[in-house]
Structure 1
């Protein structure tokens, strides 16, 4: 038997103990929990959390409605109950989308009656993982022909524009003032956290990558972007590898990421670095 309730300050350890068993598909949840706890005042990374607990008080399923409207899932059982519980508490605030194991994002959309709601993205994603001790460093990066570094203040404008391009091309987000505002906000937050990286070639910034979720031992790669005119030169894999070398030097031992099933070029790039498939992730973004 299980019972469902909202999680509150003091429940962090039991929530993380459950999520840690599913780290590869729970990075958003675990990183948000570590950074923002179980308080929901609308600030970045905060959210309202609901969980199913067994008779021994152990968490066995979680759904969180995050500050940005996303519903984050790790609910191998009792998905219907935890999703309804968390959305009842947030009083129907708009759902921007879902992320989590693919079967769960599909089920959540169904149980909430949102299958007909237009989505800019409804994607099956290959979930990848890599032990950083086994990272294969591209020759150009190893030789110093290109260099990865954290972003600087001077990079924010360029990276914000690239984030707009990324969101439009890969996520199907409509261009406009709202996308520009959101892209800049995301880049500024990642820059301030030290989780945004660029690649330099002959003094020019040519590619971007970020950690969209981070734990002391695990990082999740996201937002990888090379402008169209600079593609097919190995820059994307170099910026990812460079960021992972920095993370490894700072104590991380593992990396995860996900990429669309149809994005063969990205899959080849990640596999060339040593990433291997671990499952299927789901990402749904509703059209605004």
Structure 2
């Protein structure tokens, strides 16, 4: 694989003209680049940060797209499945361009292949920051018993709460310093993308977000319950509600990611009817 087989651009429209069909060919496996590029198209190229994003495609021998990447600094690379040889070529090209990704996120084998290649090419240290599992909703199994309370789609009056809860969630998963809670809340409120589980008196107890539908799939994220309200069934109830709403709205696939280090959340989503699709890994780089 010649390094020049990887081509890069900062032109989102040009990238999508080239790669959109490839990304939509496997919407579950490509859920993150699909939703990230959709968000950039709707909210602007600097939604995720001050620096311009980079988009990349790998040309197959017949000229079609064999792999793709999205890099939205300060976040890491989001990479579709690649072989070890393709990862080596990618590391060489990114180093030549002067890119210094802080992380890579991809299916397990692809992430490991790029991490090894980047260590070699850039002389950095690499370590696993998170192991994740992508789940797909099979048949929704509502929680039983359903906890006290009711679901409600969040509105503009909830913005301050959403910002605070999102920043707490981001801090818990190691993304706190780079996440803008206000921008996230505004984007989600623009299409009713957060559902709250609230008590009978209207007190919010938990939240679950959902991406816009793209390529027939919706991804549930994030799911958050404040520490003092956990283990009461609120997360399961609100996740079941956004999953049902996505299906009712016509989504062919409803997806979510879990941290494999959290057996509670993995067990919860399986009880709701989610089944594992693939394992992903986030590798972090230093030095």
- Taking structure 1 as the reference length, what is the TM-score of the superposition? 0.81
Cα pair distance change 1:11/1:159, threshold 3 Å: closer
Pairing partner for 1:187 from 181, 185, 196: 185
Q: Which SS does the other structure have where 1:185 is aligned?
A: helix
Mapped to 2, the partners of 1:10 and 1:195 lie a distance apart of 28
Contact 2:15 2:55 in 1 (8 A): no
- Following superposition, the deviation at residue 86 of structure 1 comes to 5.0
> Do structure 1's residue 244 and structure 2's residue 243 form an aligned pair?
yes
Structure 2 unmatched runs, 5+: none
- Following superposition, the deviation at residue 182 of structure 1 comes to 2.3
Pairing partner for 2:195 from 197, 206, 217: 197
Contact 2:216 2:253 in 1 (8 A): yes
Q: For residues 82-129 of structure 1, what are the alpha-carbon distances to aligned partners after superposition, in whole Å with 9 as ceiling and x for unaligned? A: 35435655x43x52422221222233233222786587x711112211
Mapped to 1, the partners of 2:125 and 2:187 lie a distance apart of 30
Q: For residues 179-208 of structure 1, what are the alpha-carbon distances to aligned partners after superposition, in whole Å with 9 as ceiling and x for unaligned? A: 6x7233323332234322211121221001
Mapped to 2, the partners of 1:88 and 1:22 lie a distance apart of 30
Mapped to 1, the partners of 2:153 and 2:199 lie a distance apart of 14
Q: How does 1:3-42 map to 2 (within 5 A)?
A: 3-6=5-8, 9-36=13-40, 41-42=45-46
Pairing partner for 1:130 from 137, 156, 166: 137
Q: How does 1:78-117 map to 2 (within 5 A)?
A: 78-85=86-93, 88-89=96-97, 91-92=98-99, 94-113=100-119, 117=125
Match of 1:74 in 2: 80
Aligned residues: 273
Mapped to 2, the partners of 1:118 and 1:52 lie a distance apart of 24
- Taking structure 2 as the reference length, what is the TM-score of the superposition? 0.81
Contact 2:88 2:114 in 1 (8 A): yes
Match of 1:271 in 2: 270
Pairing partner for 2:174 from 172, 190, 193: 172
Contact 1:126 1:258 in 2 (8 A): yes
Mapped to 2, the partners of 1:129 and 1:227 lie a distance apart of 25
Cα pair distance change 1:26/1:68, threshold 3 Å: farther
Output the aligned Cα RMSD: 3.1
Contact 1:43 1:67 in 2 (8 A): no
Cα pair distance change 1:263/1:82, threshold 3 Å: same
> Do structure 1's residue 260 and structure 2's residue 266 form an aligned pair?
no
Q: For residues 136-166 of structure 1, what are the alpha-carbon distances to aligned partners after superposition, in whole Å with 9 as ceiling and x for unaligned? A: 222455xx95322322122222222222322
Q: Which SS does the other structure have where 1:112 is aligned?
A: helix
Mapped to 1, the partners of 2:248 and 2:91 lie a distance apart of 39
